[in-house]
Structure 1
Amino acid sequence: MAYDVIVIGSGPGGYVAAIRASQLGFKTAVVERESLGGICLNWGCIPTKALLKTAQVFEYTQHSKDYGITIGDAKVDFEAVIKRSRGVADKMSRGVQFLMKKNKIDVLMGDGKVKAKGQVEVTDKDGKATVHEAKHIILATGARARELPNLKIDGKNVIGYRQAMVLPQQPKSMIVVGSGAIGVEFAYFYATLGTKVTIVEFLPRIVPVEDEDISKELEKIYKKKGIEIMTNASVEAVEAAGNGVKAKVKTQTGEITLEADVVLSAVGIAANIENIGLEAMGIKTDKGRVVVDKYYQTNVPGIYAIGDMVPGQALAHVASKEGIVCVEAIAYNEKKYAHKPETIDYMNIPGCTYCAPEIASVGYTEKAAKEAGYEVKVGKFPFSASGKASAAGATEGFVKVIFDAKYGEWLGTHMIGANVTEIIAETVVARKLETTYQEVLDSIHPHPTMSESVKDAIEVAYGEAIHL
């Protein structure tokens, strides 16, 4: 078959790129070796949120008396918890199947690779290979769990995020190596359901990409939940011990041995750039990622790459936007689109972590803003002073805003609290519009809401606090 566009990979970058290509009049196909929706819908963003919601509901039952409700002894049916998560994922994947049909996109099931210029080879599960032609080939093969040399994922003693979502039974104890989004989300899920969890983080603080105040707050809250946290520490070796494992952990004061049922490796991701034809085509890579220009074309004309396999934040919403920008640029060059798309501002990408309390951030941290030469105004508003948060029984955390003292430019926002991932978009839009602090304060925020805490934090930054 001959196509205008073939997308290899159907994750949030690939399937979105395919739909936009079809909308713009391109005959489009998408190649997928496993399940439509990729890792995000099937093994990442969506099913993990289902697990985390279960943990939250269980936590509510444990604290129901705080709301004036008495509930009997609530128990966790771990098998049912996992089944619900898989059901949510399957439903979303079927939704992508519907979108492919709706947009008249051919789905080619199998492993895809660039065979030659303008050619994609697809090998199905039976080993049968077919070659399809395309003027434009978009690589969107995503990423997988990164493995450390001394922490190989074997699916039994050391597991990755995929195994963590479908364990046959709940472990009594777990060591989580790495405290990025994946690590702290699973730590919350398992700890809330009753597993004894220990987090081991190589760097001096957990969630190390976040503002330092966020890290301190989450560590305080997690310790209160009974999660043990070891920073400036590394797992040097893991060995089987009876029905569990022994992990040798190097700390600043010496080496210790931790015992647990299982170790979860959550030390980041590695791009899927192997066996897709990069070497044969001479496509450049750097530090394990594909090198692209601002419209995601590789050094080989007609071949593009988006999502986790290119430099930038490895986030679903980033991959989706990269796919749209890539396809719109192609369409513009072929006179199918009226204007060249605006490139992505990677300094205005929201990051969200769905532990409890949630974390959401965008823009400069306080430290990064100062290192960039800004004189800053900083405001923090605790949710303990929020009427809506108090009514909801969700007073943990705060909103922190950072502004340029000279011009009032909104440099960044960092939040930790209930549902803050739903609030961060205000900052993203405001920064895109180059809004100043005064314009935000002049915009009336609804009361009572947790979102008005953003306005309250800005008032604190400028010495105009009303509710604090």
Structure 2
Amino acid sequence: MTFDFERKQRIAIIGGGPGGYEAALAGAQLGADVTLVESTGVGGSAVLTDVVPSKTLIATADAARAIDDAGDLGVQFYARGESGAPLKPEVAINLLAINKRILALAGQQSEDLRARLIEEGVRIISGHGRLAGEDAVVVSTGPGGTDFDRIEADTIIVSVGASPRELPAARPDGERVLTWKQMYNMPSVPEHLIVVGSGVTGAEFASAYMNLGSKVTLVSSREQVLPGEDADAAAVLEKVFTRGGMTLLAKSRAERVENTGEGVVVALSDGSTVEGSHCLMAVGSVPNTAGLGLEEAGVQMSESGHVLVNRVGRTSVSHIYAVGDCTSLVPLASVSSMLGRTAVFHAMGDAVIPFSEHKIAANIFTSPEIATVGWTQHADAVVHKLPLAENARAKMMGVKDGFVKLFARAGSGTVIGGVVVAPKASELIFPIAIAVDRRLTVDQVARVFTAYPSLAGSITDAARAMHGVNLRGF
């Protein structure tokens, strides 16, 4: 659809998560008449109950861990007893204060995003939106869905996200059996947290609560933590988890979870049980697409309820787009944001670069973090892994675990992927992401100056070790 200079293009967006927010912002900046419908708050669950809260919790857990590890660097904490003898104080975790800060920070971020959209001229309606055919959105704004607003639109963008998946035999109760949305209501650090699910969400919360002082048991139905991720990275994380006292139950499937009143009992498929104080169910998510009128509008859906879209977010109906976790694409906030902008640019006739899954930079916020970009499994690739323990800055910081791994195409030396396991790997992956996106060779990366000493120096060191791949192959 091309931009109509005689009348502002009307864009209606259902859902104000990362994709909906960026779509609204891009549309307003390009001169469209934009209406955003949001039921919980601008930023959606990513800001209010998922990404921002969980990463804030993780940052707090990392701070607690840093205090514990400071002794390795010669920094010691002591208090004086009545006799004047030094006492080693304990690190106290006030989870009520932590959660209060987390929720306040999330709320403030949501308000900041809302203010930015209003400043740019976006109309925001609080309510539940659904499609009314192909060209309009109906919003229920009153209690019980009694009042309605109708929004006529030239372009409709669906960005309704996803919710935690619930198992019939392990229904969350918000007290002891919890989803990731309910983790911020606990008054104190759980004595023994059982995490069911070893994907990204399960691994992140297991890591955080281990560092906050909980006994943690991680129940994984697969052979390794983080199935589908780089095997070397998963192995490092498993070593760190085991060293920290976490119990890893591989190839174990939870069949039932019971709240006993005093704790929880998790029944496994092999007939054994695990007892703990709380249980986090991290078994995936389901798209929030039910009842939106998508099928009635002719939008094709998958059996799982995800919206099928192409690489610019377009659905089977030409002027209806979908972005974020409700689609068939990679469920990452960064992907949602990028596709939100791309969808609006495409709808308004602006130049776009179609989404490419193999250029995504992703990060898992465990301790240490695990970041990836591009092809990390490729038959025509030369791989070099450099342990972080060899890095001078890492030695200074007391970092013992992690590595930088580069993947380059044999013959040309073009960087096609990378894995970083390190503190703040989410920051270190960026130069590798640029190399992948710009098709730089390892020699070009090797010639870039990095500060010395720095963790980023391991990236250029790895690239220098691959010198010649563009000349002779391996």
TM-score normalised by structure 2 residue count: 0.91
Match of 1:259 among 270, 275, 278: 275
Other-structure match for 1:404: 409
User: CA contact under 8 A between 2:94 and 2:188: conserved in structure 1?
Assistant: no
User: CA contact under 8 A between 1:3 and 1:29: conserved in structure 2?
Assistant: no
In the TM superposition, residue 146 of structure 1 has moved relative to its aligned partner by: 1.6
Match of 2:418 among 401, 413, 418: 413
Q: Which letter does structure 1 place at the counterpart of 2:281?
A: S
Other-structure match for 1:223: 242
Match of 1:454 among 437, 443, 459: 459
User: CA contact under 8 A between 1:8 and 1:141: conserved in structure 2?
Assistant: yes
In the TM superposition, residue 434 of structure 1 has moved relative to its aligned partner by: 0.9
Match of 2:378 among 369, 378, 382: 369
Question: For the residues of structure 1 that align with 2:90 and 2:279, how far apart are their CA atoms?
Answer: 29
CA-to-aligned-CA distance 1:315-365 (integer Å, 9 cap, x gap): 011001101111001111xxxx3xx31111111101101111011001222
Question: For the residues of structure 2 that align with 1:124 and 1:99, how far apart are their CA atoms?
Answer: 22
Other-structure match for 2:36: 30
User: CA contact under 8 A between 2:443 and 2:467: conserved in structure 1?
Assistant: no
Other-structure match for 1:140: 159
Question: For the residues of structure 1 that align with 2:45 and 2:261, how far apart are their CA atoms?
Answer: 33
User: CA contact under 8 A between 2:443 and 2:464: conserved in structure 1?
Assistant: no
Other-structure match for 1:326: 343
User: CA contact under 8 A between 2:364 and 2:370: conserved in structure 1?
Assistant: yes
User: CA contact under 8 A between 1:379 and 1:459: conserved in structure 2?
Assistant: no
In the TM superposition, residue 11 of structure 1 has moved relative to its aligned partner by: 0.5
User: CA contact under 8 A between 1:292 and 1:299: conserved in structure 2?
Assistant: yes
In the TM superposition, residue 66 of structure 1 has moved relative to its aligned partner by: 2.5
In the TM superposition, residue 61 of structure 1 has moved relative to its aligned partner by: 1.8
Match of 2:318 among 298, 301, 304: 301
Q: Which letter does structure 1 place at the counterpart of 2:299?
A: I
User: CA contact under 8 A between 1:379 and 1:462: conserved in structure 2?
Assistant: no
Question: For the residues of structure 2 that align with 1:229 and 1:459, how far apart are their CA atoms?
Answer: 37
Match of 1:389 among 390, 394, 410: 394
Q: Secondary structure at the match of 2:259?
A: strand
Q: Secondary structure at the match of 2:153?
A: strand
User: CA contact under 8 A between 1:298 and 1:305: conserved in structure 2?
Assistant: yes
Percent identity over paired residues: 31
In the alignment, structure 1 residue 185 sits paired with structure 2 residue 204: yes
Question: For the residues of structure 1 that align with 2:94 and 2:218, how far apart are their CA atoms?
Answer: 25
User: CA contact under 8 A between 2:38 and 2:127: conserved in structure 1?
Assistant: yes
Other-structure match for 1:360: 371
CA-to-aligned-CA distance 1:252-278 (integer Å, 9 cap, x gap): xx4311001121111122111111111
User: CA contact under 8 A between 1:386 and 1:395: conserved in structure 2?
Assistant: no
Match of 1:344 among 344, 355, 370: 355
Other-structure match for 2:54: 48
User: CA contact under 8 A between 2:202 and 2:282: conserved in structure 1?
Assistant: yes
Size of the alignment, in residue pairs?
448
Q: Which segments of 5 or more consecutive residues in structure 2 lack a partner in the other structure?
A: 1-7, 78-88, 470-474
Other-structure match for 1:270: 286
Q: Secondary structure at the match of 2:460?
A: helix
Question: For the residues of structure 2 that align with 1:351 and 1:437, how far apart are their CA atoms?
Answer: 21
Other-structure match for 2:64: 58
CA-to-aligned-CA distance 1:220-269 (integer Å, 9 cap, x gap): 1110011111111110111233411111113xxx4311001121111122
Stretch deviating more after TM superposition (112-121 or 25-34)? 112-121
Other-structure match for 1:150: 169
In the TM superposition, residue 73 of structure 1 has moved relative to its aligned partner by: 2.5
User: CA contact under 8 A between 1:3 and 1:132: conserved in structure 2?
Assistant: no
In the TM superposition, residue 70 of structure 1 has moved relative to its aligned partner by: 2.6
Other-structure match for 2:12: 6
In the TM superposition, residue 458 of structure 1 has moved relative to its aligned partner by: 2.5
Other-structure match for 2:429: 424
In the TM superposition, residue 297 of structure 1 has moved relative to its aligned partner by: 2.1
Q: Secondary structure at the match of 1:101?
A: helix
What is the root-mean-square deviation in Å for CA atoms of aligned residues? 1.7
Q: Which letter does structure 2 place at the counterpart of 1:361?
A: T
Cα 1:240–1:462, aligned 2, differ >3 Å: closer, same or farther?
A: same
Q: Which letter does structure 2 place at the counterpart of 1:351?
A: A
Stretch deviating more after TM superposition (175-184 or 295-304)? 295-304
Question: For the residues of structure 1 that align with 2:400 and 2:457, how far apart are their CA atoms?
Answer: 14
CA-to-aligned-CA distance 1:85-124 (integer Å, 9 cap, x gap): 1121112111111111111101100000011232111112
In the TM superposition, residue 15 of structure 1 has moved relative to its aligned partner by: 0.7
Other-structure match for 2:441: 436
Question: For the residues of structure 2 that align with 1:45 and 1:198, how far apart are their CA atoms?
Answer: 23
Q: Secondary structure at the match of 1:162?
A: helix
Match of 2:126 among 109, 117, 125: 109
Question: For the residues of structure 1 that align with 2:308 and 2:363, how far apart are their CA atoms?
Answer: 26
Question: For the residues of structure 1 that align with 2:261 and 2:166, how far apart are their CA atoms?
Answer: 24
Other-structure match for 2:300: 284
